[in-house]
Amino acid sequence: MRKMQLSIVIPVFNERNNIAPLVDEVISSLRGRLNFEIIYADDNSRDDTLAVLKSLKSSTPELRILRHASQIGQSTAVRNGVRAARAPWIATLDGDGQNDPADIPKLLAARDAAVPEVKLFAGWRVTRHDSSSKRWASKWANAIRARLLRDDTPDTGCGIKLFERDAFLDLPYFDHMHRFLPALMQRAGWKTVSVPVNHRPRTSGVSKYSNLGRALVGIRDLYGMVWLIARSKRTVVEEV
């Protein structure tokens, strides 16, 4: 059996109509290029998301399905998918179809051209296809985050990312950590790169977050990140 080269982790909650089109796009973008797997982490969906996923397994040998016994959130879904992954590198996609799987080869090319110290390649939605209120909220949230964390990342909320599995699992885990991956990677001593990617309108389903809810949680988490960075220490370790 060929060595697994890439694991695509997709957290999902009540996205039954977006699953099959997204799986088809991943297959079209990657099959024949490298050995990969698609890991869906179903966060205890209340629609028939799980049934749709199961129906695709017979025609999609790359597909694996994880199921949470209770709803616990996107960060935990991503982390559980990464823990189950068999490849040394992970690509993540949001389950709503707004990320374009055709951008995954672009992230892989950026990785291949980068120095080994770069462990995260973060998608950057240069042109957003969201509501004006959501774009406005994200603009201000990114500005505040960048000022406090100085992570030199224009768009941390983009769901499409490529990162090294071991580096990710070495990061401190907490709910909503997926929104701070560049800062967390840099805190660990690694470099990060932002890569312009496509962004598409949502065609089915509804967003699981309100602007107010995201802002209230984000403020608390942001101050937690400031504390975490301030308390971090690193040194070179030599065995003698």
Instruction: Determine, yes or no, domain membership for 236.
Output: no
Number of domains in the chain: 1
Beta bridge partners of 106: none
Question: DSSP for 8-62?
Answer: EEEEESS-HHHHHHHHHHHHHHHTTTS-EEEEEEE---SSSHHHHHHHHTTT-TT
Report residue 211's pLDDT band, with 50, 70 and 90 as the boundaries: very low
Phi-psi region of 55 (alpha: psi -120 to 50; beta: other; left: phi over 0): alpha
Report residue 217's pLDDT band, with 50, 70 and 90 as the boundaries: low
Instruction: Determine, yes or no, domain membership for 1.
Output: no
CA 121 to chain centre: 10
Instruction: Provide the CATH number for the domain around residue 182.
Output: 3.90.550.10
pLDDT score for 232: 86
Distance CA 210, CA 169 (A): 29
Instruction: Determine, yes or no, domain membership for 50.
Output: yes
User: What three-state secondary structure class fits 4?
Assistant: coil
The answer on pLDDT for 234 being more than 70 is: yes
- Alpha-carbon distance values, 224 to 6, 227, 228 (Å): 32, 5, 6
Instruction: Determine, yes or no, domain membership for 11.
Output: yes
The answer on pLDDT for 236 being more than 50 is: yes
The answer on pLDDT for 61 being more than 80 is: yes
Write the pLDDT tens digit of every residue in 128-163: 765 666 666 566 666 677 678 888 899 888 999 999
Instruction: Determine, yes or no, domain membership for 79.
Output: yes
Residue with the bigger pLDDT between 117 and 135: it is 117
pLDDT score for 42: 98
pLDDT score for 205: 66
Instruction: Determine, yes or no, domain membership for 239.
Output: no
- Alpha-carbon distance values, 21 to 51, 96, 181, 229 (Å): 15, 10, 27, 40
pLDDT score for 152: 86
pLDDT score for 215: 55
The answer on pLDDT for 195 being more than 70 is: yes
The answer on pLDDT for 69 being more than 60 is: yes
Instruction: Determine, yes or no, domain membership for 235.
Output: no
* Total residue count of the chain as it appears in this document: 240
Instruction: Determine, yes or no, domain membership for 240.
Output: no
Mean pLDDT check: name the lowest of 84-88, 166-170, 216-220. 216-220
Provide the CB-side half-sphere exposure for 114 (13 A, CA): 20
Distance CA 63, CA 79 (A): 17
The secondary element (H helix, E strand) that includes residue 166 is helix 165-169
What's the mean per-residue pLDDT of the chain? 90
pLDDT score for 210: 47
Strand 161-164 versus strand 89-92 pairing type = antiparallel
**Token pair of 63 as six digits:** 């597909």
Mean pLDDT of 169-195: 95
pLDDT score for 140: 64
Strand 118-125 versus strand 161-164 pairing type = antiparallel
Mean pLDDT check: name the lowest of 3-12, 35-44, 125-134, 218-227. 125-134
Distance CA 58, CA 69 (A): 24
Report residue 8's pLDDT band, with 50, 70 and 90 as the boundaries: very high
CB atoms under 10 Å from CB of 27, counted, come to 17
pLDDT score for 138: 65
Give the range of the structural domain holding residue 103, as residue numbers without chain letter: 6-230
Distance CA 85, CA 107 (A): 18
